[in-house]
Structure 1
């Protein structure tokens, strides 16, 4: 996918230009999707007690929440190449809001699991977010743009860990609702906001800096849908796509896993919370788990910024080296966190882990736009699906009656460390390396917000 007139800088207070409107709407939409996706996670101790769920059933809920996202991300990447990110995002938000609200109707394990699986489709929003910013920003800042929108969106996973227990308690204390009614009403509100945001996305954004796909195709400024036929197969044949599939599984897959288990992990494995009042323990566990997700406010963007800086010095090979280092450090930090037995040690270890997990996420999608520009949606979808595929696989470790959760985390740390080595096999053609090195990073007044049509195509 190539377009001209891409933005060469990120101006956060600009809400008028198409690239910056897409920037702000995409991170906000993804934030809400993540909030709704994992809104039930910090309330699982309450749901578990109400529905009398076993460890095995909780494990299936963890797996189910990320399973369908694998297929959804593959499909939505293909869809973006054809109808554009604007329509894809609007449709996804409105449709996915239905199971988000519907889970409040669940009264047994089977119906709860079905809605939990259906909610997972909203995770495909990540691919649209990355696709939209990839075609709105030039190569000197695309890594930063992708990492920032995704990071601020992923922040929803941390905020929901703090907000949902607070909202749950507020509904009980201020409005006198029962525990069963309170957690259901929390999810109803999350679904309504998602639907409203989907409608707003349709009216406030456009597909590219120059207009929507339909308009550009009608005027001959953009290739017809038939021109992208076979791009998915093309992406599948590229070994680099599958390396990044594994890498994203090693970083974002671990983030999804921790978002799902964090509250339960702290309550079940730390004596300080095991013996505390249940409502108090839920609030503390949610706050601590929320710290991990809240690091997306800066850490994922830091990975993209580091990648852009490395690219300015060493071209695309610099992006690859940057990715290798942060994923390697993530694996080591995950093993360290798995050995924590007190909150005093676990919280700093988790924050260190969060830093490298989110930097790895950002650094991965700073490489993705340069793999295959014609098949950008398909590449983004396949790599994005890797995160959820890994989360599904990890879910089986956490539902096992043989493996304890700390042991499962240690095993995952070893796997992440091994996966980091595969990054060094990623190579780019010499001409692509030289093209990447031709555009330095510009900041402040050095960079124009948007290039004239035809001047810059990435």
Structure 2
């Protein structure tokens, strides 16, 4: 590949990245990574929260107390903090392809194993282990960040993450359907075996997807990290040894850590409590409560993509500062919408308020990861891992608000909304040096110009999403 003047491009040139997104193109490594990464994350998210819409049945079978349910919520998201920190550094070292393959295959084991839980202790142990697959988010963001140029990287990151997060909404109504209509209805399973078989099926699909990821993707536009390093096109793996420490020393990384906790952490919390909230506070059945809860997660179909796309647009007009200002606005609106939802006493008002709250929550997530790729490109995986871990840290902190009777949850949501509103002002602490702003501007214009040139000559130029 050459630049617009006909000169050969270096191996790390941003122009080798895709400058557009063509959804129905599966022939390029960029778009295969795009589709495989969101689908893998979707399945991980589906399995991660597959037990949440079935908790009404599990609670009755095991006689779980509100305090025990609270610990299950905390356990499901706590181990992900450590997993995300580790997986980010591992992506820098061995690449996203091997990371995703290993995570899907190993992560499928506790998903299937949860069906063997007989009491609270074993259920909690499996629930904690399942949380490791939440690290899949970091791999997804890493893979699309190295495959797409700066003019569309926010949109690519947000779309793959948003469609992956969609699994948290889909599982709210699919898992009850699989349990009641497939395993109990068609196969005659009891409640006892119905929810267990449903979780085993979810784990088996994750395992098969891990195998597919190995054969269908590659680490970067030019190939896999091992081959590129062997050819001298990339620094050796040992060069990543100090990247995690370097990322930890950047205050902006920890600021985004807190900000992501205020949006993705809130989403994880709602995924855990929504079905029980609607069942207990609005008197809804298992399937109906699952459908109501799904309204929150299903907004990921477009809301997170919209947040990332707006970040790209404002980044093109106002530079990196434009991306940061958009992050503040989206997060501030999320906090106000959450407080509104917390005060809804009628179901007819609660559902629209939930959808509005979900819209701004997921746009905030997309806005966050339209900023992340520009913090420090030398340690992209470590930065993504730390910020991603912030989402789970926020979920763990929020879960302590709901370790009590569900009648108090509305007050807990009101408090959480106030916290999110205050956290939004931290976005102004994310600043970039003038030379970084100038470099980002040049890279953006270069990528946009390359995208137009490829379209003109009929080369690889995915069209807008």
Match in the other structure for 2:364: 360
Match in the other structure for 1:308: 312
Equivalent-residue separation in structure 1 for 2:384 and 2:441 (angstroms): 23
Match in the other structure for 2:408: 404
Equivalent-residue separation in structure 2 for 1:122 and 1:402 (angstroms): 28
Match in the other structure for 1:333: 337
Equivalent-residue separation in structure 2 for 1:218 and 1:108 (angstroms): 51
Structure 2 counterparts to residues 219-298 of structure 1, below 5 A? 219-270=231-282, 272-273=283-284, 281-298=285-302
Match in the other structure for 2:224: 212
Q: Give the deviation of 1:431 after TM superposition.
A: 1.6
Q: Give the deviation of 1:435 after TM superposition.
A: 2.4
The one-character-per-residue Cα deviations of 1:330-384 (angstroms, maximum 9, x if unpaired) are 0000101110111111000000000000000000000000000001000000000
Query: Does structure 2 conserve the Cα–Cα contact (< 8 Å) formed by 1:8 and 1:447?
Result: no
Match in the other structure for 1:41: 52
TM-score, reference length from structure 1: 0.94
In structure 2, which of residues 448, 452, 457 is the aligned counterpart of residue 446 of structure 1? Answer: 452
Q: Give the deviation of 1:434 after TM superposition.
A: 1.8
Equivalent-residue separation in structure 2 for 1:418 and 1:206 (angstroms): 41
Between stretches 171-180 and 27-36, larger displacement belongs to: 171-180
Q: Give the deviation of 1:13 after TM superposition.
A: 1.0
Between stretches 439-448 and 73-82, larger displacement belongs to: 439-448
TM-score, reference length from structure 2: 0.93
Equivalent-residue separation in structure 2 for 1:135 and 1:77 (angstroms): 13
Aligned length: 445
Match in the other structure for 1:195: 207
Structure 2 counterparts to residues 90-169 of structure 1, below 5 A? 90-169=101-180
In structure 2, which of residues 366, 381, 385 is the aligned counterpart of residue 381 of structure 1? Answer: 385
The one-character-per-residue Cα deviations of 1:246-297 (angstroms, maximum 9, x if unpaired) are 0000000000000000000111112x42xxxxxxx11011001111101100
The RMSD of aligned alpha carbons is 2.0
Match in the other structure for 2:32: 21
Unpaired stretches in structure 2, ≥5 consecutive residues: 1-10, 461-465
Query: Does structure 1 conserve the Cα–Cα contact (< 8 Å) formed by 2:76 and 2:130?
Result: yes
Between stretches 305-314 and 171-180, larger displacement belongs to: 171-180
Q: Give the deviation of 1:445 after TM superposition.
A: 7.7
Match in the other structure for 2:397: 393
